[in-house]
Structure 1
Amino acid sequence: MISHGFLLLFFSFILSITASTNYFKYTGPNLTTTENETFTEFYLINRRNVLHVTENVTFNHFLPKCCPPNYKYEKGERKCVRSNDTSIINELGMNNVDDVYLIKSGLRDCEVIVDHVLLLDDFKSVLGNYKQIRYKNETFASGKYCVDGIDNDSEYEKEFILRLCYGPEYCRNRELRCLKKCCPDGEIYIGRDCHAQPEYGFPTEHYSDIIVNFTDNFAIFRQKRKCKLHFPNITHENITIFENGSISYTVGGPWQTHNVEDEMYCFELGLSNNFLTPYLLMCNNIEERNNIKYWFSRVVMSLSCVCFIATMMVYVFLYKLKKVIHRIVFSYCLAQFTGFATLTYLQIDPEPPQPTCSVLGFLVLFGFHAGFSWLTVMCFDMWRTLGSMSPKVGNNNKSELKRTFYYCMYGWLVPSFITVFCYFENKYSFFPESLHAYIGDLFCLLEKRVQEGNYGHTMFFIIPITCAIIVNIIFFVLTVRYIIDATENVRKMSDTKKEKKEALYALKKRTFMALKLFLVMGINWSFEIISSIISFKEYTITTYIELFLDTFNCFQGVFVFLIFVLKWKVIKSIMEKFKIIVVSSVSRSTSLASTSG
């Protein structure tokens, strides 16, 4: 293998003794180059070697080749395929073995690209002197076109490709359909970013059912986008792309139509963990991301985070986590705060760099799973304390520490196992593509790709929270059933009016507490499960229901604060703690005893 430095010296020497003049021959300064197989925009070549230009430089004179050296163009899927055919090199006049030439691959800065297939004679007549070309009475300067050989089986009639670059007005004024591509020419999604991979092209057959009168004759429109893309929660039956490139879709209610120049959709391939997936992505307009709905959501979630912190501080500094219930509430608030705080940050900055993006995505997943785990612990402990017909276990410190240990084992290890399992699946892809967990790919969070045939979100989020909700409901029903039975027994057994009243009051208080816990134990998340099965965007009324439930979820921290902290006896204890008021020691003991239950 010849070293890079030696090759550059060799090229410089050849240039110094070569008298021939060729428009594409490179005579500039030495460049940083490499011989590896990564794709770049510029290449230095002669008939023996190919070097990739790795510097971020701009050249005025270059050979506009559509594919990298040693590749030809495949017109069906608009991709580059490896080929040892040198006919394009010969036709472009690069015959001198010793000359060094500069090649620019592809049209990555072009907005609209139109392909034309030419035979050899037409190809030669179009090229002229290469500085500019003229095709069908239009002139295209250097950088606004590229040429290459076409990969086919014919040995007698070689074809060449001429790709021309237009502005976005082409799609408005011409009859040829424009299909919108997310990444620049020759690039696809790898993770959340576009990377040069001209071997994959731009196949659109996967979406032929939503494109009216689909054919492979179309222009590629790559729009300079200002919006954030997302996977649409729309079935193919509810979206149509017309011959003029405009899109029509419905998310409930009347159909909405946008012309081809609106920032509404684009197609692209995505490569992740060796899975190649065709994407149809749609735009959330920048105005929508900043409208009152999104700002309100951020404010409410931030308020919930503050409420979680306030609740934890009360249970640490006032109750000093003395009882098991104190530790349960503290752990629940800590888990929810982790999920809510991370999610709030991602709403403010939805596209942090890697690996921060993936770390935050897994942190959100862990936080919410831990929250559900501690809700289950809370519901179990509620049933154990209020609803169990068995004799109560002793409340000595050793027994409570043992119970707390078991609760922590479940509350933290279960979500840890789910998150770690999801991480390894995301990294090593040991499940089929339909169950692959996409986190930090296009977006930081665990992605919903049901319309793409992927159920990773269902497996790693929906199914675990469904199990947790079912278990929570069972404990709640058992608790309420016991309270109802106990209430009926009090009515039958109490002889004095005063005893009956006190007993019913105690049971009523317990029932009310159970009801409040039921409201925050994640039942409203059941609509998240339903929305994973059916689309709430099908009808206007269900869209508003989904908005209401999402907002309700954002208030979780506020609800917890209202249930566990915002009570007169707790407030009174806090005021006494900070010597705002003075109460007797007997009153203080009574107050803490009643509020901690």
Structure 2
Amino acid sequence: MNSRVCGCTLLLLSILMAIGVRTNDIPDCDFFDTVNITSSFKAGNGSYRYKNLTVPASLTGEYDYVIQYDGDRISVPKHIRGCVCKLKTCIRFCCPMIKRMKSFGCSKKENSLSYDMTLDIMQDDGSIASKHILTEMFVQEDLPLPCKTHYALDRELSSEDQWTLFEDGKLLRDYDKKNLSKQEYCLQPRMASNITYYDYTIAPYNCVVEPSMVMGYVKSASIICMVITIAVYFWLPRFHSLHGKCCNLYFICLAATFLLNVFSMFDVFRPRSLLCQINGYAGYFAVMATFLWLSVISFDLWRRFALRRFHEFNRNSRSSFLNYNYIVWSTASVLTLGILMIDLFTKFNSANPLTPGVGEYTCWIYTEGWSAMYYFYSPLIILILLNGTMFALTSRYIYVENKRNQQVLNQNERQRKSTNKANYRVYLRLFIIMGGSWCLEIMAFICYMEKVFEEFTTAADLINCSQGMIIFLATFCNCDILRSIHYRIQNRYSTATDSTGSSRNPDSDKFGNSERN
């Protein structure tokens, strides 16, 4: 019996202790409506005097935690908090009013800032009232920052960054019509864009929307597949022809594009740093070179079929390869140098479509505005149209004009045609994969900017990020390629003997003719 009494007593004490802990919190008061008033004067009736505001005992409580931006509770030493927002309209500052806000926190330096201390507040009845933040409102300065990385909604600088502050402390972000609680945003003085009387103006800082890393992981898998494809192209003699070399350089540029983009997606470099900008310009160079090499492949196959009368041009594959390299690398360099010069001599403005903004928000060209259409997607559209034209001309020659002369072709001519058709089939797969996926990417960008067809945008991004895996499957899901790999593995120990003897690797013969034509 005594043991039961003791057990019940312990249970009752535990319940009372738990209730006691809960009653330390202020009833019916959100944590983000409170401030730390521990160092304030306490009157005999239990009320506190804090910044010319009397906080009654019923609106105070003892806390041993703070709530972070993600909702997690962090244990801290016990302190007294007061629910001041029950007494006066509150606004939340990110940092003390004499400091400036940065992307990753508050500035260490304290300055006497000259800024307009009035804010337009949407009242409950729908009217707008201009209130002074010091005399008519209460400023909260000690709450934890909403998130790790922030950006300002500067409605003076961008028409998309409009916002409305409500009397209950919520903020409406106009571009996506989302209501943000005080846990999701904060206010802080910011260098004025258009105001001349004041140096600073109050602007809300909200959290950077963290993109899904799914696409980053898919691109990483594509890079691995591309590396394997590149290695096979180097390894098999059948791909040592002019066409194979061009294809391999295309694969290398595509893999480099994906790798640099993955660096940007996973924030390997800090935005606006030198390494971040180098990553962005190198990525732009790589993607332009990728499309230029696809254009070279298109042109090379077209001139093999349609420009046979230029025998000297067709015969010297080494000279052609050097010319192709010169054209691709110099063109990509000129395009990259162009956006570099624009970035150097113009101030970035997200609302201005003429500023590339490389490295401003991400370590890539700025793709959240229409500037990407001018500097990124427009060159791609031109190259895709060029590739499509040459693709159509080549197809027409193969399936229409060549069919008329099929009966009069001699054996050597038929063998050369067979080899070129094999090259054309490889190019056909590449064109469908590369041209098709990037066409989807361009359409997805337009849908994203117009905020329509979100499901299509996601699907197009997924296909574009999977290019490396698709090319890998298109390359290796081929009986001819698998036989070549099998033959190469079986004869890896006798390569030296085969190369000096009378017999030759059949793979070399198969694609060697295309080098001499």
Matched, 1:299 2:217: yes
1:443 corresponds, among 358, 362, 370, to 362
CA drift of 1:564 comes to: 3.9
Mapped partners of 2:291, 2:118: distance in 1: 41
| Residue of structure 1 in register with 2:251 after alignment | 333
Stretch moving more, 455-464 or 578-587:
578-587
1:479 aligns with 2:394: yes
The separation in 2 between residues aligned to 1:316 and 1:414, in whole angstroms, is 25
- Whole-Å Cα distance in 2 between the matches of residues 448 and 479 of structure 1? 34
Q: Does 1:525 find its partner at 2:438?
A: yes
After superposition, the Cα gap between the structure-2 partners of 1:593 and 1:183, relative to the gap in structure 1 and judged at 3 Å, is farther
Contact 1:231 1:281 in 2 (8 A): yes
Q: CA RMSD in A?
A: 5.0
Q: Which residue of 1 aligns with 2:404?
A: 489
Task: Assess, with a 3 A threshold, how the Cα gap between structure 1 residues 230 and 405 changes in structure 2: closer, same or farther.
Answer: farther
Contact between 2:34 and 2:83, CA under 8 Å: does it hold in 1? no
Partner of 1:557: 468
User: Which segment is superposed worse, 315-324 or 578-587?
Assistant: 578-587
CA distance in 1: counterparts of 2:96 and 2:168, whole angstroms? 21
Structure 1: distance between partners of 2:120 and 2:430? 47
Tell me the equivalent position of 1:65: none
1:458 matched to 2:382: no
The reply to whether residue 283 of structure 1 matches residue 203 of structure 2 is no
Once residues 243 and 120 of structure 2 are traced to their aligned partners in structure 1, the CA distance between those partners, rounded to angstroms, is 54
Per-residue CA deviation, residues 354-409 of structure 1 (Å, 9 max, x unaligned), is 3222222222222212111212212222322345575555654xx21221122112
Taking the TM superposition and a 5 Å limit, the aligned residue runs for 1:247-286 are: 247=171, 257-263=178-184, 269=190, 283=207
**Closer/same/farther in 2, CA of residues 571 and 513 from structure 1, 3 Å limit:** closer
Cα deviations across residues 203-260 of structure 1 (Å, max 9, x unaligned)?
999999xx9837464567776133545799x984997654434355698xxx874441
Equivalent residue in structure 1 for 2:284, among 355, 365, 369: 365
Counterpart residue number, 1:378: 297
**AA matched with 1:517:** L
Aligned CA distance change for structure 1 residues 175 and 507 (closer, same or farther; 3 Å): farther
Quote how far apart the aligned CAs of 1:310 are: 1.8
Relative to structure 1, is the Cα distance of residues 199 and 478 closer, same or farther in structure 2, using a 3 angstrom cutoff?
farther
Counterpart for residue 226 of structure 1: 147
Q: Which one of 227, 241, 245 corresponds to residue 323 of structure 1? A: 241
1:415 maps onto 2:332 in alignment: yes
- Give the partner amino acid of 1:225: P
Contact 1:476 1:514 survives alignment (8 Å): no
For 1:137, what is the secondary structure of its paired residue? Answer: strand
Determine helix, strand or coil for the equivalent of 2:207: strand
Partner residue, 1:571: 482
TM-superposed CA distance for 1:262, in Å, is 3.8
Query: 2:54 pairs with 122, 125, 137, which one?
Result: 137
Q: Give, in whole Å, the separation in 2 of the partners of 1:533 and 1:339.
A: 21
Q: 1:137 to 1:427 in 2, by over 3 A?
A: same
The structure-2 alpha-carbon separation of the partners of 1:591 and 1:237, relative to structure 1 and needing over 3 Å to count, comes to same
- Contact 1:112–1:170 (8 Å) recurs in 2: yes
State the secondary structure of the residue aligned to 1:418.
helix
Aligned to 1:425: 342
Counting only pairs closer than 5 Å after superposition, residues 184-203 of structure 1 correspond to structure 2 as: 186-187=99-100, 201=115
Q: Which amino acid aligns with 1:459?
A: Y
Distance 2:191 2:82 in 1: 25
Residue of structure 2 in register with 1:27 after alignment: none
Change (3 A) 1:570 1:526: closer
Partner Cα separation in structure 2 for residue 317 and residue 379 of structure 1? 24
User: Aligned partners of 2:168 and 2:470: how far apart in 1?
Assistant: 51
TM-aligned CA deviation for residue 486 of structure 1: 2.8
Output the amino acid matched with 2:469: V
1:547 is aligned with what amino acid?
A: T
Output the CA distance in 2 between the equivalents of 1:185 and 1:260. Answer: 24
Shift of 1:548: 0.8
Rounded Cα–Cα distance in structure 2 between residues aligned with 1:266 and 1:548:
37
CA distance in structure 2 between the aligned counterparts of 1:511 and 1:406, rounded to whole angstroms = 21
- SS of the equivalent of 1:578 reads helix
1:545 — aligned with what?
456
In 2: Cα distance, 1:467 partner to 1:244 partner: 52
Correspondence 1:402 to 2:288 = no
Deviation at 1:328, TM superposition (A): 0.9
Distance 1:529 1:203 in 2: 44
Matches of 1:358 and 1:413, distance apart in 2:
20
Matched, 1:469 2:388: no
1:439 counterpart letter in structure 2? V
1:419 and 1:503, CA in 2 relative to 1: closer, same or farther beyond 3 A? closer
Cα drift, residue 280 of structure 1: 7.5
1:87-143 Cα deviation digits (max 9, x unpaired): xxxxxxxxxxxxxxxxxxxxxxxx9999xxxxxxxxxxxxxxxxx97413269xxxx
- Offset at residue 448 of structure 1 (A): 3.5
Contact 1:247-1:258 at 8 Å conserved across structures: yes
Q: Is the 8 A contact 1:536 1:546 kept in 2?
A: no
- Asked whether the equivalents of residues 180 and 221 of structure 1 are also in contact (C-alpha less than 8 Å), the reply is yes
Provide the C-alpha distance between the structure 2 equivalents of 1:401 and 1:330, rounded to a whole number of angstroms: 16
**Where do 5+ consecutive residues of structure 1 fail to align?**
1-110, 115-131, 140-165
CA distance in 2, matches of 1:246, 1:588: 70
Contact 2:95–2:188 at 8 Å: present in 1 too? yes
In structure 2, C-alpha distance between the alignment counterparts of 1:351 and 1:184, rounded to whole Å: 30
TM-score by structure 2 length?
0.63
Q: Secondary structure at the match of 1:535?
A: helix
* Cα drift, residue 421 of structure 1: 2.5
Residue 505 of structure 1, CA deviation? 8.9
Q: Any residues of structure 2 matched to 1:63-102 within 5 Å, and which?
A: none
Other-structure match for 1:246: 170
What amino acid does structure 2 have at the position aligned with 1:569? Answer: D
The 1:522/1:246 distance shift into structure 2, 3 A limit, reads farther
Aligned length: 414
More helix by share: 2
Alignment of 1:87-236 (within 5 A): 134-137=51-54, 173=86, 176=89, 178=91, 186-187=99-100, 201=115, 213=128, 215=130, 217=132, 224-229=145-150, 236=160
Q: 2:94–2:145: 8 Å Cα contact kept in structure 1?
A: no
- Residues 1:515 and 2:433 aligned together: no
1:33-75 C-alpha deviation (Å, 9 max, x unpaired) = xxxxxxxxxxxxxxxxxxxxxxxxxxxxxxxxxxxxxxxxxxx
- Alpha-carbon distance between aligned partners in 1 of 2:339 and 2:241, rounded to the nearest angstrom: 34
Equivalent position amino acid for 1:403 in 2:
S
